Structure 1
Amino acid sequence: MELLGSQGMEKLMFSRTLILFLMAFVFSCFLLPTNFALSDESQSYAVPPQEPQSKNGKRGLSLSSIEIVVVVSASAIIFGFASLVAFCMHVKKRTAKPRIEAASESPARSDVTVFNDVGVVLTYEKIFQATRHFSWSNCIGNGGFGSTYKAELSSGIILAVKRLLVERCQGLPQFHAEINCLKSISHPNLITLIGYFASEADMFLIYNYLPGGNLEKFIQDRTNRVFNFDVLHKIALDIALAIAYLHDQCVPRIVHRDVKPSNILLDNDLTAYLSDFGLSRIMGTETCTKTKVAGTFGYVAPEYALTSRVSDKADVYSYGIVLLELLSDKRALDPSFSVHENGFNIVSWASMLLRDDQIPDIFYTSLWEAGPEEKLVDMLHLALMCTTESLCARPRMSQVVGQLKEIVALVP
């Protein structure tokens, strides 16, 4: 029996069921007495059940046998027919199931849309395996919109995959529409969007991977790296160029709303790239000018936090905070600020030291010692101008780019 296989067993079961049905049919046709079907007239004169049986009892025995034959025959026919129908339904279900599963699983496994060719075909399975099933060991960043994972493909290509929080998205139609707007955005200091995957259960964006890590890690580890005015200026200008492009040249215009060190990535040459641009549109937090507050505490502009009204000047403020972190050895909300009043942050701290003429104490020690001091002070004034509470007093990012270029042109 084991050698028959599943298909052989099904054929054997079908044959047995068919034979049973035919035997029941023959039994009912040939063994049922022909005189059982009485006419209406004979039925009207039939002997009542209460009448005593004949002497030899043959008539009573004959009727009883007929009833038994009818019941058995009818039962056999019904059983055989029911078995045949049940078996046919079973076979139909067995043959239809794989096709249903294939139709349901196919889109969820291969529907990866690619905008920039990386030399290999990207599928859901490849990304899933390359990130080790989105393992924490491959996680290289976390944010309000999701987590980013390092994806190492078998071909040696390395990608960065941003797995989004599906519950925060507006829905698939809006998601596809916003992604199609972002696919054409290209700038030397914006991270490249390779492609994306979207379903009701899972969504992720695929970017090029940058081996230098993010600016947050760079700031933490800069004692072990080359960090001087040239490096500072290069990073500051790269970020400013990227934000200025989003504000003034990108179609549609984009307000980033979450400019911070962890969203600024570096390559091996310390060229800076801005990431996570456009996610506020994709994740459905932006409606005209009034929005849900998106961003990271400490980097969010005060007017945005208070009124939920966003403008490009909110990005300018966040940029100023990042620049102050690069210049000093403090974080946006450094633990050392706890000795001051509530709301004291890196802007309050730098402004206080500037008023008290303690400018050298603002800067990262080795940065100040290497100089040039004049250019560093100019960078400080630019950072404080970006973080002023007055929106009108804050420069546009295009103006920030202009001032950065003027600073580097100054004779040391």
Structure 2
Amino acid sequence: MKRNLLALFLFLDLFVFSFSENAFNDDEDVLLKLKSSFIDPNGVLSSWDPNSSNYCSWFGVSCNSDSRVVSLILRGCDDLKGSLHFSDSSSCSRRRLGGQISPVVGFLSEIRVLSLAFNDLEGEIPKEIWGLKKLEVLDLQGNNFIEEISGIRVLIKRFLVDPLKISRFSGFSGNAVLGIRKLLSVADEGEEEVSTSSEDVRKNGLYPIEIASIVSASVIVFVLIVLVLLFLYTRKWKRNSQVQVDVPKEIKVFVDIGVPLTYESIVRATGYFSNSNCIGHGGFGSTYKAEVSPDNVFAVKRLSVGRFQGDQQFHAEISALEMVRHPNLVMLIGYHASESEMFLIYNYLSGGNLEDFIKERSKSALEWKILHKIALDVARALAYLHEQCSPKVLHRDIKPSNILLDNNYNAYLSDFGLSKLLGTSQSHVTTGVAGTFGYVAPEYAMTCRVSEKADVYSYGIVILELISDKKALDPSFSSHENGFNIVSWAHMMLSKGKAKEVFTAGLWESGPQDDLIEVLHLALKCTVDSLSIRPTMKHAVKLLKRIQPSRL
């Protein structure tokens, strides 16, 4: 009996253990230590470099206004669906992280979302995770973790904490809820025992009936805790019921589309935000396709709850954003905002994004007319944001994946205004760099001072990718010195008299070559270090219109 009680107390201790928050200087140290514990053969974490940028802009990392990490999403490839979750991964490749999760993850005391699903991680799940009091979403499914439960080593393949279920117990401590979820996930496993021989049992000093008793007792104890807390929470709710009325979840609609939009119809149309309906991942959240009816299909961007502070300010900012309208901007149709859920509703564009277009473009999509049209459409959208909006709107994260296409190759800029909306400073000096590594202007990365010329720089990078076969940080640049990128490469080709080698196969031959050279010079001028030399987007529009080919 004493042995049973001792094992039970040791098991319960797993859920109340917590780190001292002073062992590391800041979250950057923790992230770097985590990186060192991972095996990263494909360079997924290449942007995790303390010398390159603020750690809040590293891949998969999201911070709050105090530069504390609140979200870490490093999802790998789900083989069952064949989909890729790393936003910068190439199709048909397995960009997964290997190794183990370092216990230093317990020092990320402000983290709310932790997703390492569908990687090749192994070993034990660090018990320090259960000490993260603010953790709301934990997704570790699709790995190869081994947990030792009362002397039995258990293979855990499916492990996912459901944020919707956790939100129903928001009055509980994070440790208690996560502890119960962990027990239930282990109890539900069909792929369990790795070794249960009598010799192993004797070594651990426990027999199967004792193990079953301990696990059962642990589950019962935690269920009782939940019931007690639920009882206390219900009493508190009844006392405040006269003040806290149950407000129905509503959607604020800006555009009359002919059919009513409700919270239930939108969430149901996304498959309750299922992976099968996910059409993109970004720094602000994931985007889902929502087919309410055959004639009403939308793109729903689900924002990371907790990134924005101040309900009234959010509604004011989003209402101002609704006034930003242009033929080459994705249309904001409506939004929902509550303590547990935030999402924006846009018109759905069936042509995908420019990143996929560049990777998979066919011979017909190599026509100069199409590439010129895309470049001009994006330039017009940015010129509108910079010149015609009051106050001006700075995008701060221009990249191919944020440029969407319809079936006629019309281009639309998305995610405009979100950098300001979701927690960055309203002044020109921000507390952290927004944007994606490889597209951020050098002066913005070094000083955090942002202007419309930072958008111009990112636009120049996009144009170079559009006309060439290279990415902003192409793997072929690894043989050059550190910092060599698509801008350095284009300058090198031009200086060697090999300008035609900049252009993707077939484009130079089909011409017109004089216009192609003008666009190349425009892209390079957009990416010079001197802000005074970079053109405005209004100037870029003027140049592109001057060399506009005959219409499609």
Tell me the TM-score range normalised by the shorter chain. 0.7 to 0.9
Q: Give the Å deviation of 1:104.
A: 5.0
Q: Which amino acid counterpart does residue 537 of structure 2 have in structure 1?
A: M
Task: Provide the rounded CA distance (Å) in 2 between the counterparts of 1:171 and 1:132.
Answer: 29
- Among 512, 515, 519, the residue aligned to 1:375: 515
Matches within 5 A, 1:2-151: 105-107=246-248, 109=249, 111-151=250-290
Q: Give the Å deviation of 1:156.
A: 4.0
Matches within 5 A, 1:348-367: 348-367=488-507
For 1:298, the equivalent position in structure 2 comes to 438
Q: Which amino acid counterpart does residue 366 of structure 1 have in structure 2?
A: G
For 2:427, the equivalent position in structure 1 comes to 288
Q: Give the Å deviation of 1:153.
A: 0.8
List alignment gaps of at least 5 residues for structure 1.
1-92
Task: Provide the rounded CA distance (Å) in 2 between the counterparts of 1:137 and 1:409.
Answer: 40
- Among 301, 313, 324, the residue aligned to 1:174: 313
For 1:202, the equivalent position in structure 2 comes to 341
Q: Give the Å deviation of 1:273.
A: 0.4
Q: Tell me if structure 2 keeps the 8 A contact 1:247–1:253.
A: yes
Q: Does 1:218 align with 2:347?
A: no
Task: Provide the rounded CA distance (Å) in 2 between the counterparts of 1:155 and 1:316.
Answer: 38
Query: CA-to-partner distance for each residue in 1:131-178, whole Å, 9 max, x for gaps?
Result: 001111111111111111100114541100011112211221111010
Q: Does 1:187 align with 2:187?
A: no
Task: Provide the rounded CA distance (Å) in 1 between the counterparts of 2:264 and 2:246.
Answer: 12
- The alignment yields a C-alpha RMSD, in angstroms, of 2.0
Q: Tell me if structure 1 keeps the 8 A contact 2:376–2:544.
A: yes
Q: Tell me if structure 2 keeps the 8 A contact 1:215–1:265.
A: yes
Q: Tell me if structure 1 keeps the 8 A contact 2:351–2:407.
A: yes
Query: CA-to-partner distance for each residue in 1:53-95, whole Å, 9 max, x for gaps?
Result: xxxxxxxxxxxxxxxxxxxxxxxxxxxxxxxxxxxxxxxx99x
Q: Which amino acid counterpart does residue 358 of structure 2 have in structure 1?
A: I
Structure with greater strand share of residues? 2
Q: Give the Å deviation of 1:387.
A: 0.5
Task: Provide the rounded CA distance (Å) in 2 between the counterparts of 1:327 and 1:105.
Answer: 54
Task: Provide the rounded CA distance (Å) in 2 between the counterparts of 1:376 and 1:220.
Answer: 20
Q: Give the Å deviation of 1:100.
A: 5.7
Give the 3-state SS of the residue equivalent to 2:301 in structure 1: strand
For 1:43, the equivalent position in structure 2 comes to none
Task: Provide the rounded CA distance (Å) in 1 between the counterparts of 2:298 and 2:425.
Answer: 28
Q: Which amino acid counterpart does residue 381 of structure 2 have in structure 1?
A: A
For 1:332, the equivalent position in structure 2 comes to 472
Q: Give the Å deviation of 1:405.
A: 1.2
Task: Provide the rounded CA distance (Å) in 2 between the counterparts of 1:288 and 1:195.
Answer: 27
Structure with greater helix share of residues? 1
- Among 315, 319, 324, the residue aligned to 2:459: 319
Q: Which amino acid counterpart does residue 223 of structure 1 have in structure 2?
A: S
Report the TM-score, using the length of structure 2 for normalisation: 0.55
Identity %: 61
Task: Provide the rounded CA distance (Å) in 1 between the counterparts of 2:291 and 2:320.
Answer: 28
Give the 3-state SS of the residue equivalent to 2:393 in structure 1: coil
Give the 3-state SS of the residue equivalent to 1:226 in structure 2: helix
Which runs of structure 1 show a deviation greater than 3 angstroms over 4 or more consecutive aligned residues? 103-106
Q: Give the Å deviation of 1:252.
A: 2.4
Task: Provide the rounded CA distance (Å) in 1 between the counterparts of 2:411 and 2:391.
Answer: 23
- Among 378, 382, 385, the residue aligned to 1:239: 378
- Among 382, 394, 399, the residue aligned to 2:539: 399
Deviates more, 1:399-408 or 1:194-203: 399-408
Task: Provide the rounded CA distance (Å) in 2 between the counterparts of 1:282 and 1:166.
Answer: 13
Give the 3-state SS of the residue equivalent to 1:242 in structure 2: helix
Give the 3-state SS of the residue equivalent to 2:548 in structure 1: helix
Find the structure with the greater CA-based Rg.
Answer: 1
Task: Provide the rounded CA distance (Å) in 2 between the counterparts of 1:133 and 1:408.
Answer: 44
For 2:21, the equivalent position in structure 1 comes to none
For 1:40, the equivalent position in structure 2 comes to none
Q: Tell me if structure 2 keeps the 8 A contact 1:197–1:203.
A: yes
Q: Tell me if structure 2 keeps the 8 A contact 1:257–1:315.
A: yes
- Among 272, 278, 302, the residue aligned to 1:163: 302
Give the 3-state SS of the residue equivalent to 1:166 in structure 2: coil
Task: Provide the rounded CA distance (Å) in 2 between the counterparts of 1:195 and 1:318.
Answer: 28
Task: Provide the rounded CA distance (Å) in 1 between the counterparts of 2:241 and 2:296.
Answer: 34
Q: Tell me if structure 1 keeps the 8 A contact 2:464–2:486.
A: yes
Give the length in aligned residue pairs. Answer: 313
Task: Provide the rounded CA distance (Å) in 2 between the counterparts of 1:106 and 1:335.
Answer: 52
Q: Tell me if structure 1 keeps the 8 A contact 2:369–2:549.
A: no
